[in-house]
Amino acid sequence: MTFRSTLFLAASSLGAMTLAACATMGDEPVADKVAVADVEEVDDALATDAAQLGTYGFDTAGMDASIKAGDDFYGYANGTWAKTTAIPADKSNYGMFTALDDLSKERVRGILDEVKDDPSSKVGRAYVSYLDAAAVEAKGLAPIKPWLDTINAIGSKAAYRDTLLKAKKMGVSTPFGSYVGQDDKIPENYIMSLYQSGTGLPDRDIYLVDNDKMAEIRSAYIAHIAKMFTLAGEADAQARAQAIFDLEKRIAQAQWTREDSSDSTKTYNKMTLAQLSDLSSPTLDIAAMMRATSPKITEVIVAQPSAIKQTAAIIDKAPLGVLKDQLMLRSLDGLADYLPDALANESFAFYGTTLSGTPEREPRWKRGVGFVEGSLGEEVGREYAARYFPAEYKAEMNKLVGNVLDAMGRRIDGLEWMQPQTKARAKAKLANFTVKVGYPDQWRDYSGLEVKSDDLFGNTIRSNAFDYEYNLGKLGEPLRRWEWGMLPQTVNAYANFGMMEVVFPAAILQPPFFDPNADPAVNYGGIGAVIGHEISHHFDDQGAKYNEKGELSDWWTDADVAAFKKASDALIAQYDEYEPLPGEHVKGEYTLGENIGDLAGLTIAYDAYKHSLGGKEAPVIDGMTGDQRFYLGWAQVWRRNYREANLRQRLLTDSHSPSEQRAWVVRNLDPWYSAFNPGPGEKLYLAPKDRVRIW
């Protein structure tokens, strides 16, 4: 899979995207106000000539000058904000990303409110179907009962296998995952890819690590399963819950680690259907399932062959009743949000509160916005972009991207460790990039999706099937280079290795990341570093494996690889030392790609900023030099407070380091030392020889 990189992993996301800086944000004295502003106030903000944050784009009121920049640059830049900003009850964390996400939801709500009473509006009907809580409660479990009856009626393992195919189309998780994406080695082609699945907890370590915290989560998970079965009217819930857990623990033991699963080389295993039969079992005959899925599937890419083979064997030996129960559980949890609150609240109590520490579900209107965006996202996104992304923003952003791309080219030219022939190909790769800003040039067609205003559950199942067929329909078709992996209203960004692209949705192109009225130093430290982050992802520990055509290949010399590995190992060791919670460390290897993105992105953005000055010195503003404002702009976008449970889960599952440690990447950059004068003995200080330098 080549769509791997997103600036920030959203609180509810456990997907494959691994960027490093953007998804949902917040700033106490100013951004909190923006986040709750109505549409008219937002329009006024767009029209102002003044910076929206502070006097030059940085909220100085959020700083804590009692903290030395050299001891904790995050605390120095953001300490007062962190102390005075509460996490809302419906959030597991709160910061710049989440504040902008709230703003995006408010804007989308305004769009949906205008059409919710129009029966001819498909997005309006979808929104109404979610808002009508009374209708959902009145129907009870009747909408899902036919599906539960289908599961209960499974009388053989062959019937179980056939039912898994139906589950996939409904959007219900099964013992292995699948999707159609680019072939990493032939990126012009689409191919079916398979990956490990089959567990309900977000990481294998929760099943396997022996400590009190993990044991507590395991007990809560078993209790949750039993509660879900009881609410669904099933008998003997506790014993059945334990049996499901025991099955999933065996599957977890077979699964690959996140580090191995993030390796592009290890996870590229192309097989014919005949070869895929070697990974199958009589019950989980994956080759037969692929044939039944589409006659166009002749080859597949298997991400974790040993895990899938062992999972197939485990499924084959498991009692049919346990397999049926697990499928029922996946259905109840996966579709709970579209069923009565008794079921939805229980699912949230475990996944939202126990795992992430969030006290309350979002209000229904917010969940309704999320539902519409999940089913008709680009239909809403087209209107969002028209209202909230002025043409001048796109022009200014394209200029910034061009400046940062030029800076990356100069960095490549100046590298001492890269061989000349590799430099030439790296420059060619850079020249082949596609930059997407704001919104797609071509919008997705939803005309084939049926939406009813009084059928939330049916809308969900039809939408899931519509997306399933849309994805499957890529097989044998030309590459859809116009397609986006995010919506315009998404506060994030990403790099796609196979597409050779960097993508910046409209919603992230606003303060504190980007403000056309802010000081350029702050913009370069914010959105400039985000741009650099995404560009450098194409040259990180995984992105560097893709050549100038977007093909997964060995195109570096041995000397290049050795030099890159030496620097990467030093960065791994640096992050391994960070301990955000007592006894819980950052995983330096797992977060390497994102940490490289932060280090390189900030380095490149600084060069672009200095080059933009045309040899002149930046003015001093409010006592801050241009370099100081640049690094403060970087630190500001990482303002974030976490609930402990959420931070603990992220240390297991998120390929990004926590926000505080992301701000600390400055300790490797020589200009930061000149700007803030940290000295030996201060906590972030590194001697020049110990500073990690890659790009």
For residue range 436-468, what is the model confidence (pLDDT) as tens digits? Answer: 999 999 999 999 999 999 999 999 999 999 999
Distances 598 to 220, 630, 677 between C-alpha atoms, Å: 36, 14, 21
pLDDT value at residue 31: 24
Closest CA to 598 of 664, 524, 680, 513: 664
Spatial separation of the C-alpha atoms in residues 661 and 460, rounded to whole Å: 39
pLDDT value at residue 5: 54
If one looks up domain 3-91+390-439+477-690 in CATH, what number appears? 3.40.390.10
For residue range 515-531, what is the model confidence (pLDDT) as tens digits? Answer: 999 999 999 999 999 99
pLDDT value at residue 21: 31
Tokens of 13: 């996301």
Does residue 32 have a pLDDT over 50?
A: no
For residue range 241-258, what is the model confidence (pLDDT) as tens digits? Answer: 999 999 999 999 999 999
Q: What is the pTM of this model?
A: 0.92
Fold of 145-334: Neutral endopeptidase; domain 2 (1.10.1380)
Spatial separation of the C-alpha atoms in residues 561 and 498, rounded to whole Å: 21
Phi-psi region of 504 (alpha: psi -120 to 50; beta: other; left: phi over 0): beta
Tokens of 268: 């590229």
Contact 16, 4 (CB under 8 A): yes
SS3 414: helix
Contact partners, residue 81, CB within 8 Å, separation at least 6: 27, 28, 29, 59, 61, 62, 63, 639
- Please state, for a pLDDT cut of 90, what percent of the chain lies above it: 92
pLDDT value at residue 2: 56
Cβ neighbours of 284 (radius 10 Å) = 27
Give residue limits of the domains in the chain. Answer: 3-91+390-439+477-690, 145-334
Spatial separation of the C-alpha atoms in residues 58 and 38, rounded to whole Å: 23
Does residue 30 have a pLDDT over 50?
A: no
Spatial separation of the C-alpha atoms in residues 522 and 514, rounded to whole Å: 8
Contact partners, residue 435, CB within 8 Å, separation at least 6: 398, 401, 405, 501, 502, 503, 504
For residue range 204-254, what is the model confidence (pLDDT) as tens digits? Answer: 999 999 999 999 999 999 999 999 999 999 999 999 999 999 999 999 999
For residue range 134-189, what is the model confidence (pLDDT) as tens digits? Answer: 999 999 999 999 999 999 999 999 999 999 999 999 999 999 999 999 999 999 99
Closest CA to 629 of 512, 517, 521: 521
pLDDT value at residue 19: 29
Distances 591 to 6, 333, 505, 550 between C-alpha atoms, Å: 13, 29, 23, 23
Does residue 264 have a pLDDT over 50?
A: yes
pLDDT value at residue 9: 63
Contact 478, 421 (CB under 8 A): no
For residue range 480-498, what is the model confidence (pLDDT) as tens digits? Answer: 999 999 999 999 999 999 9
Going by their DSSP bridges, the two strands 3-6 and 494-496 should be labelled as antiparallel
Spatial separation of the C-alpha atoms in residues 462 and 442, rounded to whole Å: 23
Does residue 389 have a pLDDT over 70?
A: yes
pLDDT band at 49 (very low <50, low <70, confident <90, very high): confident
Closest CA to 43 of 99, 103, 97: 103
Bridge partners for 183 per DSSP = 186
Phi-psi region of 121 (alpha: psi -120 to 50; beta: other; left: phi over 0): beta
DSSP conformational letter for 580: S
**Average pLDDT of the chain, as a whole number:** 93
Spatial separation of the C-alpha atoms in residues 213 and 199, rounded to whole Å: 19
What DSSP line would sit under 36-73, residue for residue? T--HHHHHHHHH-SS-SSTTTSS-GGG--TTS-TTT-H
pLDDT value at residue 61: 97
